Structure 1
């Protein structure tokens, strides 16, 4: 058996903070907003990076990392190519998971919910805010599809950029946002001796959140 290093012996004691049940807000979005801001203030690398999990029609899970671009009306919003692998899977099965990991703060947040496309107007509004080159790139990238070489992308980018000189780059129909309505949100705070704090918010039929502590 090939040895890839003695990774089983890697250990880290978590000592930075705790999470007290009597201090939890009724609304998990309030706690998430607080934690996200603290990650931003701590200058965590890519604080809005989120691992998105979807499921194929065959029941096989897949994950990738995107950037959170909105948190409003109780929904988590990100943008992508609708014809990408995740876009095709969400078209078949809208159930989704989101995971934020802020190692510096010894924190994780795991979310499960249902994704749906935002309105074309919302996608247009965000698309106009993107850097010019990012807008051009979104128009030419066949995201998740095999390509022959990097040069294929570069040539397509140059050709497409020339089309929009002096004009507003339009959002392609196959690119836009998803809004995730959460039904389950877990907050994880590292603690000493692996006795971590884990609190689960579960959405009830009456629209309220039930809070429970989970074993680490």
Structure 2
């Protein structure tokens, strides 16, 4: 069996082509910029562009991340499904500052 390092080195990554990005074209609203990216990703056939990693911290400050599905974006708010009584819901209640990561 191949070593993990060799298997990983043989994988292609970030091969593009990626659309050009011009800072002078950035809309004022972050959600508008994101929506433009999302539509481009859908048009280019990116698999599951609505899948995201939601990163929070627990009560001790330890990072915690899980994959969720984006449900909507509006007025600089990103909506996803999560129960307020879940571990993730509790972490959001304690500290609403999060990071969302999309490929």
Give the TM-score normalised by the residue count of structure 1.
0.41
Query: How many pairs are equivalent?
Result: 99
Residue in 1 that maps onto 2:24: 22
1:33 positional shift: 1.0
Question: Is the Cα contact below 8 Å between 2:56 and 2:98 reproduced in 1?
Answer: yes
Alpha-carbon distance in 2 for matches of 1:18, 1:82: 39
Alignment of 1:1-216 (within 5 A): 3-6=3-6, 7-8=8-9, 10=11, 12=13, 13-101=15-103
Alpha-carbon distance in 2 for matches of 1:45, 1:90: 28
Q: 1:42 to 1:26 in 2, by over 3 A?
A: same
Alpha-carbon distance in 2 for matches of 1:17, 1:70: 23
Question: Deviation per CA, 1:121-153, whole angstroms, max 9, x where unpaired?
Answer: xxxxxxxxxxxxxxxxxxxxxxxxxxxxxxxxx
1:15 positional shift: 3.8
Alpha-carbon distance in 1 for matches of 2:40, 2:21: 14
Residue aligned with 1:71, SS: strand
Residue in 2 that maps onto 1:197: none
Question: Is the Cα contact below 8 Å between 2:41 and 2:49 reproduced in 1?
Answer: yes
Q: Which protein shows a greater Rg?
A: 1
Q: 1:37 to 1:15 in 2, by over 3 A?
A: closer
Q: Which runs of 5+ in 2 are unaligned?
A: none
Q: Which runs of 5+ in 1 are unaligned?
A: 102-216
Give the TM-score normalised by the residue count of structure 2.
0.79
1:65 positional shift: 0.8
Question: Deviation per CA, 1:143-167, whole angstroms, max 9, x where unpaired?
Answer: xxxxxxxxxxxxxxxxxxxxxxxxx
